[in-house]
Amino acid sequence: MIQIDDMATFVAVVETGSLTAAAVRLDTTKSVVSRRLADLERELGAILLERGARGARPTEVGAVYYAKCLRILESIHAASDFVAGFNEMLSGSLKIVVARSFHETQIAALLNRFAFEHSEIVLQVESSRAGALGEIDYDVALLSGSPDNTDLIARPLFEFANVLCASREYLERHGVPHTAADLAGHDGLFESDGVSGWSHRRGEQLLQLRAKERMVSSDPQQLLSAVRAGLGILQAPEPVIADDLASGRLQRLLPGMEMPRGQFALLYPRSRRASRKVQLLAEFLRGHLDGATTQV
């Protein structure tokens, strides 16, 4: 008979990419992880993982089995949360995914405060992005924007301004753009899931801004590092670069131009809507962030 611990171990290995990292996440030993995987593959009569110098990754059948395991474990979590709510209990773990770019803002401090006020709940916090939500197991996601997923419930926390910025060193070398047209001659730093440009509003119109591609990355922290290093111009959420702007490390560009605003939201799977832990965190964050517009 397949054991739940074996399935959870397999999921942990797929998500972390190695037996050692999975053992750390599960608070056990590598030998236990290896034994559970061996038991699982023997019971199923199939090889689920390919192990190599670069770690472990699922085979074709392993990838399908991983997706099914996630649904099973999610149902188990939902059942456990129902029982905990029925008995008026608030304990156990709460898995939280936070947008990489926002984790170093006040969000991290608020999660620390929540953990301090609710010592019976163990927070498991990981950084991620919206496009990766389908690949991991979580209770709550704190992200900018709302992924196009009808299985998720979104609760907006605050709006924020997006601003164009660059370092003083970059502007000394390339000059300060004064108009939208000036950006065409400048180096741009872009997210890989976007386009080679930005947009701004003029009345009811949404107009495109263009710049030369200097760097493209799916990692917001890489782009923040690049703009601070003077590689080009970046469009970034104002709360994320507030300290850089205040210190003069980065300079806001074209301040009179209206950029599309963003929204930071708390999201959770519909299967978690009965979880008192999820609702407790949601109300806690809304109580501290509701109504915020420019900064968190």
CATH topology for the 162-260 domain: D-Maltodextrin-Binding Protein; domain 2 (3.40.190)
Q: By three-state DSSP, how is residue 131 classified?
A: helix
- CA dist., res. 296 & res. 291, Å (int): 10
Domain 1-89 has CATH 3.40.50.970: no
- pLDDT on residue 36: 94
Q: Do domains 1-89 and 90-157+261-291 have the same CATH topology?
A: no
- pLDDT on residue 293: 43
Structural domain spans, the chain: 1-89, 90-157+261-291, 162-260
**Tokens for 177?**
């753009």
Residue environment code for 41-58, b if the CB has 16+ CB neighbours within 10 A, otherwise e: beeeeeebbeeeeeebeb
pLDDT tens per residue, the chain (296 residues)? Answer: 778 899 999 999 999 999 999 999 999 999 999 999 999 999 999 999 998 877 899 999 999 999 999 999 988 888 877 776 655 567 889 999 998 778 667 888 999 999 999 999 999 998 875 555 666 778 999 988 766 666 788 899 988 999 999 999 999 999 999 999 999 999 999 987 655 568 887 767 778 888 999 999 988 889 999 999 999 999 999 999 999 999 999 999 999 888 888 888 999 988 888 788 999 999 999 998 865 543 43
- pLDDT on residue 81: 76
CATH topology for the 90-157+261-291 domain: D-Maltodextrin-Binding Protein; domain 2 (3.40.190)
pTM of full prediction above 0.75 = no
**Residues 260 and 238 sit within 8 Å (Cβ to Cβ):** no
- pLDDT on residue 266: 93
- CA dist., res. 295 & res. 46, Å (int): 51
- CA dist., res. 239 & res. 110, Å (int): 15
